[in-house]
Copies of this chain bind each other. A is one copy, B any other.
């Protein structure tokens, strides 16, 4: 039975990769930079994204976000406070987003045209394992890690960090009470993905956000 599951899983991933390639082409044609945000639940993806959307809008950028959760539309409601168009994807028990979910939710999204966007952010389901295997056609995959998690997360979840284009450390404002070992965290990220861009941020205080926004702008204009 295990062999059959592995074969079927390969088939599903292959199908996903094919649709992701179509989406990637569509994003390119529309001139929109798409980012896929992946982390553990509780890392602060939503707070970081809310701040990013707000700061980008303040600079005149046209942004939107899709947000994945098993249940509830809490995150979509939080993100909508930024003023950007936001659409919730409820996976109802599935522990990751896939290309088909993105395709379907882009299709029926009233008032949002890819060609009219500069950036589209996709906040994945909180999970350090399964989302790594599902390409969403994104231009940039971002792995997030908070100062409250263990510094050895990159070593324990290598697939995500190894497939990421950028790493964001969140909640830097509470690094001290959490006893966060910055050097060790940076060393571990670099061990899994040498030379990856790492941003040390706080959505609360805004530290690190300028550097992050500059990076986004540079990536969009490549």
Taking the nearest CB of chain B, how far is it from the CB of A200, in angstroms? Answer: 17
Whether, in the assembled complex, A130 has its beta carbon less than 8 Å from a beta carbon of chain B, the answer is: yes
Which chain A residues in 135-191 approach chain B with CB under 8 Å? 146, 148-150, 152-153, 155-159, 171, 174, 177-178
* Contact flags A1-21 to B (C-beta < 8 A → 1, else 0): 100110011011001000000
Show 20 residue pairs from A and B whose CB-CB distance is below 8 angstroms, ordered by the A residue.
A1-B8, A1-B12, A5-B5, A8-B8, A40-B40, A41-B128, A41-B156, A42-B148, A42-B149, A69-B156, A70-B157, A72-B152, A74-B152, A93-B129, A95-B95, A95-B130, A126-B156, A146-B148, A148-B148, A148-B178
Whether, in the assembled complex, A103 has its beta carbon less than 8 Å from a beta carbon of chain B, the answer is: no
Q: Count of chain A residues with Cβ under 8 Å from any Cβ of B? A: 41
Q: How far is the CA of A149 from the CA of B157 in the complex (A)?
A: 19
Taking the nearest CB of chain B, how far is it from the CB of A78, in angstroms? Answer: 10
Which chain A residues in 102-151 approach chain B with CB under 8 Å? 125-130, 146, 148-150
Copies assembled: 2
What residues on B are CB-neighbors of A1 within 8 Å?
Answer: 8, 11-12, 15
What residues on B are CB-neighbors of A93 within 8 Å?
Answer: 129, 159
B11, B70, B174: which contacts A129 (Cβ < 8 A)?
Answer: B70
* Contact flags A61-85 to B (C-beta < 8 A → 1, else 0): 0000000011110100000000000
Known: A72-B152, A72-B155, A153-B41. A128 touches B129 (CB 8 A): no
B69, B128, B171: which contacts A126 (Cβ < 8 A)?
Answer: B128
Q: How far is the CA of A148 from the CA of B12 in the complex (A)?
A: 35
Known: A41-B157, A42-B42, A43-B42. A95 touches B152 (CB 8 A): no
What residues on B are CB-neighbors of A40 within 8 Å?
Answer: 40-42, 126
Taking the nearest CB of chain B, how far is it from the CB of A179, in angstroms? Answer: 9
6 more A-B residue pairs beyond the given contacts A5-B8, A70-B158, A148-B178, with a C-beta to C-beta distance below 8 A: A42-B43, A42-B148, A71-B155, A95-B127, A125-B129, A127-B129
Closest to A157 in B: B70
> Which 6 pairs, one residue from A and one from B, show the smallest C-beta to C-beta distance?
A42-B149, A148-B148, A95-B129, A40-B41, A177-B177, A174-B177
